Chain A
């Protein structure tokens, strides 16, 4: 395919495309999700153009941070990039744990060093930056916790008004970090799905731009950079297994999109893909239930409960994408108990000095289960994802 791309382009964003029906949309306008089939929209880049003009090794030499991948991110004007230091989180070898479990290459991608202490910073950095570029002045979000804090921070830095709906039992740190950044916070007697209903209604009636997971196209773009960073860290190869906690699923879908893009760019030394492991809590496991039934979408999970508040998502808006990517990767979805999560959280801290969020600790609990099931090969390169800092859940730890 011939490309006429500008070799100096800040971004090679081409258009948006519906993940369900394939309808295309111009990226110069504000979009939420597909009005025809109500599926998430994804950003499509001129990858042949980028392949011709962007050098992966030059990208690696740039100053650290998410925006060094700007050609593959949706913001067109550098002054709209809202940067708080997100990205380039450490990939740590877990030497003591791998020895304990009889593994050779066990890593954790530790997202707790992102601004606001969680991986949510990546997605909200992209979404708020793009919202600013498109002239949005006020943003709204329903959140299980960390996304609210991240949105408040990035909105503050971008000069946008922020409104946040979160369950009333959201960790105290999330409530306070949102308020101190100037966001208007409403505590909801319910789950994130209840908060989503309220935020959606306010967005419709008062014109707030809703940055709910997958209800706008750009959060997933920030999250996908985790996939780029992994490939770069492994010498432009991909690990064999990625064990990832799944609430809304933006990170899992984003990384799989990143791997597609890296392959199209010709940047991978070996195109062998990782098996994606989706981890949920057994008190809220819609993806696991659907995976076990080989279904294309999830049922709404009733009576959702878990200590890992980020996993209390009764049904992701992107459930079809999540399941598609797990199936395509020959991966698996499994649920772990709250007891196993808390035990793993303690074990990870004692053995490796990492005080993980419960959602991150769930990946260690899942690893142990996968070892019991002989699903892993001891020589494989396995990456756990710690999505945030345990310090943000101290009220839970003390309870």
Chain B
């Protein structure tokens, strides 16, 4: 089966969204976006996705809760879909919490584009 090259980015910061959109679309991925956690979970349950990028500091539920809801979703694919957590305002143990909540990788902001490409391509080879 051909993998989906749709990447969902759950992030409320428009500057980061624009940066990541530009970076991933340059590599042939399609970026879907949600500015809130609850809507992000809902989109993930509706759309065909290859990977999720997840900010931790969201305006409604935090990224940990988003990851937990995704992993326990009735949509079976979400239990294994790659989730890359990305955050700036790390509190103590933030990386550990993200991994414990079900994220596969933790990245800190600022988002280095070459690293982002490599991280995404490790799960979802370039189209």
Considering the complex, give the chain B residue whose CB is closest to the CB of A315.
B108
Q: Give the complex CA separation of A348 and B55 in angstroms.
A: 46
Would you call B95 an interface residue if the criterion is a C-beta within 8 Å of the partner chain's C-beta atoms? yes
Please state if A190 and B90 are interface contacts (CB–CB under 8 Å).
yes
In the complex where A38-B111, A300-B107, A320-B112 touch, is A194 in contact with B118 (Cβ < 8 A)?
no
Which listed residue, B95, B112, B113, touches A302 by the CB 8 Å rule?
B95
Taking the closest CB of chain A, its distance from the CB of B83, in whole angstroms, is 15
Residue contact A302 to B92, C-beta cutoff 8 Å = no
| CB-CB nearest in chain B for A38 | B110
Size bin of chain A's contact surface: 20 to 34
Partner of A20, one of B19, B90, B96, B112: B112
Which A residues, 170 to 209, have Cβ-Cβ distances below 8 Å to chain B?
189-191, 193-194, 196-198, 200-201
**Which among A36, A297, A300 is the interface contact of B106 at CB below 8 angstroms?**
A300
Given that A302-B95, A303-B96 are known contacts, is A197 also in contact with B88, CB under 8 Å in the complex? yes
Q: Is B46 at the interface (CB under 8 A from chain A)?
A: no
Interface residues on B, range: 20 to 34
Contact A36–B113 (Cβ < 8 Å): yes
- B114 proximity list for chain A (CB < 8 A): 20, 37, 39, 296-297, 320
- Inter-chain contact count A-B, CB under 8 Å? 70
Interface residues of B in 71-127 (CB under 8 A from A): 87-96, 99, 105-115, 118
How does the 8 Å CB contact mask read for A248-261 relative to B, with 1 for contact and 0 for none?
00000000000000
Q: Which residues of A contact B94 (CB under 8 A)?
A: 194
Q: Is the CB of B95 within 8 A of A314?
A: yes
A38-B19, A39-B112, A320-B115 as given contacts; A302 in contact with B96, CB under 8 Å = yes
Taking A20-B114, A36-B113, A39-B112 as known contacts, 6 extra A-B pairs with beta carbons closer than 8 A to each other, sorted by chain A number, are A37-B23, A193-B108, A194-B92, A197-B87, A297-B112, A320-B115
Q: Could you list 17 A-B pairs, sorted by A, with CB under 8 Å?
A: A20-B113, A190-B90, A190-B92, A193-B90, A194-B90, A194-B92, A196-B108, A197-B87, A197-B88, A197-B91, A197-B108, A200-B88, A200-B89, A215-B110, A297-B112, A302-B95, A320-B112
